[in-house]
Chain A
Amino acid sequence: MSELLTCQNLCKRFDSKYALAEVTLTLQRGQIVGLLGPNGSGKTTFIKIINGLLVPTEGSLLINGFTPGVETKRQIAYLPERTYLNSWMKVKDILQFFATFYDNFNMDRAMQMLSDLRIDVGERLKTMSKGTKEKVQLILVMSRDVDLYVLDEPIGGVDPAARDYILHTILSNYNPNSTILISTHLIADIENVLDDVIFLQNGQIALHATVDEIRSQKGKSVDELFREVFRC
């Protein structure tokens, strides 16, 4: 099946406010998709629903035909915006954790990437800088062989050199069976890497098109279009 994620009239309500309203979309395999929108547009809510951390109020979201649960968690690698690593662990402990709980974790690849970035496996997470912790988290996620990668602000808090490495890693780990969903504010840095973009505004889809379509039809970059659409 080439459709990996289908979402039909998805709604999520908190008290009286709708964080997501009637979202309908499909993600195909082998695509790198950008989820773009200002703070409060519903990106994080959408991502949490994909990962089974929130339950929809109405509508459906299916990954490989399953609602978010144990089967989907096996096939999703999630990089949240925050640091989720417990600080008492060493890098090798968290590697062991991933190898234990995920049977599609590629230890060799993780070790290779850690050595590329000169991160010591014996170092405690507590003593690492924020940027290094984020790199470790990204390496852990990209070392899994799954159908769907969900990256929430993967390049936000890192320096430009690390940013290049991260984009390079995403591209070299690309495989035509998997989909990568990237949620970010730093559109200019990333738009060359995207197939499709989804603009989310007030919990609804404002735009769902390919990067090339936007550039040829609107004659401007995705970054410029974004600034126009979401002008304050």
Chain B
Amino acid sequence: MLGKLIAFDLKASARILFPLHAAVLLCTLVGRLMLSVRITEYIPELMLALIFLFYFLLLVATVVISSFYFIYWFYKNLFTDEGYLMHTIPAPSWMHITSKTVGMILWQVIDLAVVVVCIFMLLFSFREFAEAFPQMMKYLSVFFTYYMDLEAWGAIALSVLIFLLSIIVHGLSAFMCIAIGQLFNRHRILAAFIAYIILSIAVSFISSFIMIAVGYDTMGSDTYLRFSYLSELFSSLVLSVIYFIVTNYLISRRLNLE
């Protein structure tokens, strides 16, 4: 059942997100070709600037839409009229939350991959990239082994984990605020926004408090780096669990469809 839900969410979101990313890749490819053929020498500077601006805006729009789409989808699919359909299929609430979270992670990863590929496509030709890549990897592993006392692969795994967890914790915090917002009969979206603001303030306040209590201002920069990585990991994990439990409770016991 979870698999079916994930497939459904991916299919629904792909309607918007797939064409968007395909368009970005296409534009990048065209731009790359233009650069290789050195057409740029024949185009007036103003137009070149405009083309670049347009491309940049497209890239930014894609990233923004990709990050916010699943939050919008969570609200629309589960708390508007569609909710009458979704909440009456034989799936428990935690499955709905998990499915939307998984979909969000997948698309964020795809989005990141696409952006990275596009940037590299524009900045380097294939030959240059093939040469530069091992060099880049060496720099990264030096960074990690020196500062984190980890082997290169452990370091990469840790970074990936932190990246994923940050998507999860931000996504779940938004989901939870939407679930809080729907408790109200009017101004549900406004209530969700306010909840999010209050949550952000509370979380940063508490984390600052903890940092001071632990004495971050007295540690050396090396220790600080290691400490901040690990604490980020730990806090994301704990917060994710809390947000998930609260959202699940709100959906299963305090659902308030209009």
So, do A and B actually touch in the complex, CB under 8 Å? yes
Among the stretches A27-35, A79-87, A203-211, the one at the interface with B is A79-87
Asked if B87 and A97 make an inter-chain contact with CB atoms under 8 angstroms apart, the answer reads no
Minimal beta-carbon separation of B80 from chain A (angstroms): 9
Asked if A53 and B87 make an inter-chain contact with CB atoms under 8 angstroms apart, the answer reads yes
Chain B contacts for A70, CB-based, 8 A: 90-92
CA distance A168 to B77 in the complex (A): 33
Which residues of chain B from 62 to 103 have any CB-CB distance to chain A below 8 Å in the complex? 77, 81-85, 87-92
Majority SS of interface residues in chain B?
Answer: loop
Is B257 in contact with chain A by the CB < 8 A criterion? yes
Asked if A55 and B253 make an inter-chain contact with CB atoms under 8 angstroms apart, the answer reads yes
Chain B contacts for A102, CB-based, 8 A: 89-90
Asked if B81 and A88 make an inter-chain contact with CB atoms under 8 angstroms apart, the answer reads no
Asked if A86 and B91 make an inter-chain contact with CB atoms under 8 angstroms apart, the answer reads no
Is B233 in contact with chain A by the CB < 8 A criterion? no
CA distance A173 to B88 in the complex (A): 21
Q: How many residues of A are counted as interface, with CB atoms below 8 angstroms from the partner's CB atoms? A: 24
Which residues of chain B from 239 to 256 have any CB-CB distance to chain A below 8 Å in the complex? 253-255
Is B15 in contact with chain A by the CB < 8 A criterion? yes
CA distance A75 to B1 in the complex (A): 16
Asked if B89 and A54 make an inter-chain contact with CB atoms under 8 angstroms apart, the answer reads no
Query: Which residue of B82, B85, B254, B257 has the most chain A CB atoms within 10 A of its CB atom?
Result: B85
Which residues of chain B from 90 to 135 have any CB-CB distance to chain A below 8 Å in the complex? 90-92
Chain B contacts for A83, CB-based, 8 A: 81
Asked if A101 and B90 make an inter-chain contact with CB atoms under 8 angstroms apart, the answer reads yes
Is A74 in contact with chain B by the CB < 8 A criterion? yes
Which residues of chain A from 72 to 104 have any CB-CB distance to chain B below 8 Å in the complex? 73-74, 76, 78, 80, 82-86, 88, 97, 100-102
Is A131 in contact with chain B by the CB < 8 A criterion? no
Is B187 in contact with chain A by the CB < 8 A criterion? no
Per-residue interface assignment for chain A, residues 46 to 67, with 1 indicating a CB less than 8 Å from any chain B CB and 0 otherwise:
0010011111000000000000
Asked if A97 and B88 make an inter-chain contact with CB atoms under 8 angstroms apart, the answer reads no
Is B234 in contact with chain A by the CB < 8 A criterion? no
Majority SS of interface residues in chain A?
Answer: loop
Q: Which one of A73, A78, A86 contacts B82 once the chains associate, using CB atoms below 8 Å?
A: A86
Asked if A73 and B84 make an inter-chain contact with CB atoms under 8 angstroms apart, the answer reads no
Q: Which one of A73, A82, A88 contacts B88 once the chains associate, using CB atoms below 8 Å?
A: A73
Chain B contacts for A82, CB-based, 8 A: 81, 84
User: Closest residue to A76 on the B side, CB-wise?
Assistant: B88
Minimal beta-carbon separation of B34 from chain A (angstroms): 35
Asked if A53 and B82 make an inter-chain contact with CB atoms under 8 angstroms apart, the answer reads no
Minimal beta-carbon separation of B57 from chain A (angstroms): 26
Chain B contacts for A76, CB-based, 8 A: 88
CA distance A88 to B88 in the complex (A): 20
Asked if A100 and B8 make an inter-chain contact with CB atoms under 8 angstroms apart, the answer reads yes
Minimal beta-carbon separation of A19 from chain B (angstroms): 13
Is A3 in contact with chain B by the CB < 8 A criterion? no
Is B186 in contact with chain A by the CB < 8 A criterion? no
User: Closest residue to A137 on the B side, CB-wise?
Assistant: B85
Is A120 in contact with chain B by the CB < 8 A criterion? no
User: Closest residue to A55 on the B side, CB-wise?
Assistant: B253
Asked if A84 and B90 make an inter-chain contact with CB atoms under 8 angstroms apart, the answer reads no
CA distance A83 to B84 in the complex (A): 9
User: Closest residue to A152 on the B side, CB-wise?
Assistant: B84
User: Closest residue to A150 on the B side, CB-wise?
Assistant: B88
Asked if B88 and A71 make an inter-chain contact with CB atoms under 8 angstroms apart, the answer reads no
Which residues of chain B from 128 to 149 have any CB-CB distance to chain A below 8 Å in the complex? none
Minimal beta-carbon separation of B126 from chain A (angstroms): 39
Beyond known contacts A53-B257, A84-B84, A86-B77: 5 more, CB 8 A cutoff: A53-B87, A53-B255, A88-B12, A97-B8, A101-B90
Binding site for B on A (CB under 8 A): 48, 51-55, 69-71, 73-74, 76, 78, 80, 82-86, 88, 97, 100-102
Q: List 15 A-B contacts (CB under 8 A).
A: A52-B88, A53-B84, A53-B257, A55-B253, A55-B255, A70-B91, A70-B92, A78-B84, A85-B82, A86-B12, A86-B77, A100-B4, A100-B8, A101-B1, A102-B90
